[in-house]
Amino acid sequence: MGKKTMKLGIRSRLLITFILITVLPIVITLGGLGLALKYYSTQIEMSAVDNLIEANEIIKNEIQESFAEINYYDTFHKEIQPSLEKYNLNLQVVDLSGKLLYDSTDRASSLKRVEIDEIKDIQYLSSQLFILNTPIFYNNEKVADAIIRGDPDQPPFNNLSKVIQIIIISIVLGILSFIGIVILSTWYIAGSILKPLRELNLATENIAKGNLDYEIKHMSEDELGKFCSTFDLMRKKLKESLIRQTAHEKSRQEMIASISHDLRTPISSVKGYVEGLLDGVANDEEMFKRYLSVIKNKTDQLDRLIDDLAQFSKLELDNLDINAVQVDSQEFFESLLSIYRVDFENSPGVFYSENQIPSAAIMADKLRIEQVLNNLIENAKRYIPVDDGYIKVKIEEKENNIIVAIRDNGTGISSENLPYIFDRFYRGEKSRSREYGGSGLGLAICKYIIEAHGGQIWAESTLGKGSVFYFSLPIAEFRV
């Protein structure tokens, strides 16, 4: 498994860049100065005279070796010139009769005579010129004199100029390296810091204009890369939030329209039956009671709708009171289920509990849990068949929780609607049908109540076969 490469942070890279900008030119300059001093210290020991004698000996030997070619100026000049350039010297060769055989600076004057009687071994004729006269031997006989001229202020006789040259080169290299590092650093900072900042600024402008699809492409492992990644994650979360908010608002508008219709329908029905009673349409006692029964059912339906809306408004404000007290699960649920057993004696369908209710201490708001149980049982009651419908309640203790399961053999819920039945303002075609008079808020309220108790609520269903609704309540000693 390969090791992950450690990336330097922006602070570290800026520090390294600053060090390179300040240190590298200084190192190059000081290195050049050190080289100059070393060169000067090794060369200073040799005086101008010593250097001249050394140069004289070398040039003398080359003249004697090439003397046979002296009548051929170009050939002789080619042999001698490199050493003359090396030591920065001028040369004249004069034979014993005074005839000029060779002049390194004047080819045309090589056939003229020059007086050399007064030239001694070494003479400084001025502060800027010396002349050296050297005898030349060929086949063990003196055949000529070499007159060597040089400037004592020029290298290699004066090394100070060479040292100054090295110092100047060192300073120039230091300046060039400083300029180069500054250019490279500017390019690097523009690419690794300013570019992502510009991209972040552009992303901010796009988000401010409402464009949440603008994606930041700069991703790296430094601080700016992590910031860009976090910013892009924020953009995605904001986009998801806006999508949910838009869907939520759309569902709420649809729900308001639906509830308005649901309120109008029973009111219109009640109004019609009341007008019928006033007009004397119910002319016998049986019809009169039937009219009153319909009016009562419609007002009960209105009451449920208004109660759901009132509770949901509290839920929206997070102001639905939960007053939990410790109760025994067996006593509490047994008292609730006994009521439903009586209710179902005169209702279609069968209601029963499948097992002995376990006894455990739970924290519960009695009225709210009763509301949840009533909502789930009433929902199941609406959807079960008239002839062989049933509702089974099973309560058991599992993993430090009391689990309540309400099973029915009703119409069931489609797999498309099932994930959303507990959402606010969601109303599935079958799960919350207006045909059965539901407000579409009951299950959302149930979810809020159960989660406020520290529990969970969920459902399983197969379309056409029935549903099972579960909710859990933590046992008191394990309640977080």
Q: What is the DSSP string of 221-253?
A: SSHHHHHHHHHHHHHHHHHHHHHHHHHHHHHHH
Same-domain pairing of 22 and 167: yes
Residues 118, 183, single domain; the answer is: no
Strand partners, 393: 353, 406
d(CA 220, CA 265): 61
Are 455 and 440 found together in one domain? Answer: yes
Tell me the C-alpha to C-alpha distance, in Å, between residue 296 and each of 99, 269, 382, 409: 151, 11, 18, 28
Whether residues 169 and 28 fall in one domain: yes
pLDDT score recorded for residue 401: 93
Phi-psi domain of 67 (left: phi exceeds 0; alpha: psi -120 through 50; beta: other): alpha
DSSP 475: B
pLDDT score at 457: 96
- Which CATH number does the domain housing residue 106 bear? 3.30.450
Residue 189 sits in the same domain as residue 62: no
Q: Which of 131, 155, 179 is the last residue of a domain?
A: 155
Q: Is residue 333 part of a domain?
A: yes
Cα 256 to Cα 48, 244, 448, distances in angstroms: 110, 18, 20
Which residue range(s) make up the domain with 127?
46-155
Domain boundary among 128, 155, 182: 155
Asked if the structure places residue 219 within a domain, the reply is no
**Same domain assignment for residues 175 and 130:** no
Structure confidence at residue 43 (pLDDT)? 57
Residue 337 lies in a domain: yes
The answer to the question of residue 124 being in a domain is: yes
Whether residue 113 is found in the same domain as residue 167:
no
pLDDT the model gives residue 326: 92
Pick the last residue of a domain from 139, 155, 171.
Answer: 155
The Cα–Cα gap between 88 and 86 comes to: 6
Would you say residue 363 lies in a domain?
A: yes
Q: Is 12 exposed, middle or buried (0-12, 13-18, 19+ CB in 10 A)?
A: exposed
390-398 vs 350-353, strand pairing mode: parallel
CATH number of domain containing 347: 3.30.565.10
Residues 151 and 165 in one domain: no
Contacts 24+ apart (CB under 8 A), 77-86: 77/102, 77/104, 77/107, 80/104, 83/55, 83/58, 83/59, 84/59
In the sheet that holds 100-103, the strands lie side by side as 100-103, 89-95, 141-150, 129-138, 122-126
Q: Does residue 4 lie in a domain region?
A: no
* CA-only gyration radius of the chain, Å: 55
118 within domain boundaries: yes
Residues 32 and 94 placed together within one structural domain of the fold: no
The number of distinct structural domains making up the chain is: 3
* Residue ranges in the chain whose pLDDT is less than 70: 1-11, 13, 36-50, 109-130, 152-163, 189-193, 218-224, 251-252, 254-263, 265, 301, 315-319, 425-440, 478-480
Same domain, 335 and 439: yes
Q: Please state, as a whole number, how many other Cβ atoms lie within 10 Å of the Cβ of residue 356.
A: 10
216 found inside a domain: no
- 93 with 168, same domain: the answer is no
Same domain flag for 18 and 111? no
Q: pLDDT value at position 125? A: 41
